[in-house]
Structure 1
Amino acid sequence: MSAFTTETVLAVQHYTDRLFRFRTTRSPAFRFRTGEFVMMGLEIEGKPLVRAYSIASPNWDEELEFYSIKVPDGPLTSKLCNIEVGQTVLVGRKPVGTLVLDALLPGKRLYMVATGTGIAPFASLIRDPETYERFDEVILTQTCRTADELTYGIELVASLKDDPLVGEYIVAGKLILDTAATREAQNPKGRLPARVADGSFFTEHNLPPFNPEVDRGMICGSMEMLASCKAMFEEAGFTEGSVSQPGQFVYEKAFVG
């Protein structure tokens, strides 16, 4: 059996010259935990060219959604960004990843910290009712360079009010969205670790400071961002977790180029 299934592209949406999303068919046999990633890509000259991609759709969705960056000289993304409806992609059969609810101890608040396309696994998690059943509050933070790079997350959260599975939680205020564009003059908010350090992040959303007894964290983004946000949680007393040994925060090491 091949390590990949061939899925058909059903929709493509470009947000900027650097970001796009697309949806594909989903093999009936494909199963994954919300928040996991999978190897995904194209067949080039008869060989698979794949990278790790978080699945942005929830595990109940009959389709698969991916959110991708465009890298002009990227071996995969320079080609993937040109896909059109009706074309096919390769999707691995074995999803994995650390950004799953079972890797965290029970808590009151869940902080999802993302930069750029790192929001993809959280796009899956905020559409899963189990996320809201496990936590009283879910705080999704995304930091990008410019405001237009925040569009995907903003539009997704806005649409959830009408979602038949999680809409009631959204209307009840269980999901808080925090966005920051670091290069926008009209949006002076900086990177999250600095806003946590000076307290402005908590003040803005009427939240108490980090408390490892009740707060949990998930991190997904660039390697530099992972290092700074991992340090942010560790300085607050959080311990890293895994599925085999749940903890107070987890982070994803896989990223695409």
Structure 2
Amino acid sequence: MNNSDLQLSSLPEIASLSVQRVLSVRHWNEHLFSFTITRPASLRFRSGEFVMIGLAVEGRPLLRAYSIASPAWAEELEFLSIKVPDGPLTSQLQAIAPGDPIYLGKKPTGTLVLDTLLPGRRLFLLGTGTGLAPFLSLARDPEVYDRFGQILLTHGVRRVSDLAFRDMLEGALAGDPLVGDQALLQFRYQPTVTREEFPTRGRIGDLARDGRLFAKLAGPAQFCSETDRVMLCGSMAFNRDMANMLREQGFAEGSNAQPGHFAIERAFVD
């Protein structure tokens, strides 16, 4: 038995959870990191869904919902997380290293999936902070490019160092084995920063109001419920304000039962 086997066996078995192994960890700055873990062959999910992950704390599993950042076809699972010094889970999760064991839920779910949206021409993926995670999954899903002619991912953060995965996204996912060629033509990335100098500054809502949000896409310089579909993932204030803006413009929120013009991950909404 190798070291990884010993570590994996150190977590108590829970029927609703599987025990996986950490494969890699990347610290983007002092309060943001991402990590990959093994994916069990039995796990199926739709790009954009979330799953419960966690660690054993004081002998008991401590779990939180995390959006899966890897696409549904990936052999590994990737997650993006903040670091909270006194957070019950993240204070320990930020210290994980390759080979460490980690709990993974068996039932991914969520509303930031294509099933919640009506057909359209332009897809806006609008997120703040770690709300980028589900959009990293969707942006690498071939079905997204089959269903929409243009995809714009806008990531709003406070500082430039918070722009996780910036190089990959600025490169229009070049080299991606499934969507690389389509992304060059259809995918656009627009980061925006609020507290440091950057080519695009301001909150996403302000970019939508003054037209900058639409500068990289063909079509109207405003949201149009007939052609545009929107996904939102960020702080509660961001989700609420953007949802209100969309409703004022005739957009209806979608769900897995009834597709609409925009979607929010309700699991993370107060």
Shared fold (TM-score, shorter chain, > 0.5): yes
1:219 lines up with 2:232 in the alignment: yes
Gapped regions of structure 1 (runs ≥ 5): none
CA distance in 1, matches of 2:149, 2:167: 21
1:1-257 mapped onto 2 (5 Å cutoff) = 2-156=15-169, 158=171, 160-172=173-185, 174-187=186-199, 189-203=201-215, 205=217, 207-208=219-220, 209-255=222-268
CA distance in 2, matches of 1:56, 1:166: 16
Structure whose alpha-carbon radius of gyration is higher: 2
> Higher relative contact order by CA 8 Å / sep ≥ 6: 1 or 2?
1
CA distance in 2, matches of 1:102, 1:224: 25
Question: Which letter does structure 2 place at the counterpart of 1:48?
Answer: P
Contact 2:158 2:195 in 1 (8 A): yes
Structure 1 residue 156: Cα displacement: 4.3
Question: Which range moved further: 240-249 or 202-211?
Answer: 202-211
Gapped regions of structure 2 (runs ≥ 5): 1-13
Cα 1:16–1:111 shift into 2, 3 Å:
same
Structure 1 residue 158: Cα displacement: 2.3
The size of the alignment, in residue pairs, is: 255
CA distance in 1, matches of 2:36, 2:207: 34
Question: Which letter does structure 1 place at the counterpart of 2:207?
Answer: R
CA distance in 2, matches of 1:155, 1:44: 34
- RMSD over equivalenced CA pairs, Å: 1.7
Could you list the runs of 4 or more consecutive aligned residues of structure 1 that deviate by over 6 angstroms after TM superposition? none
CA distance in 1, matches of 2:170, 2:15: 36
- The percent identity for this pair of structures is 49
Question: Which range moved further: 163-172 or 181-190?
Answer: 181-190
Structure 1 residue 45: Cα displacement: 2.3
Cα 1:124–1:184 shift into 2, 3 Å:
same
Cα 1:241–1:11 shift into 2, 3 Å:
same
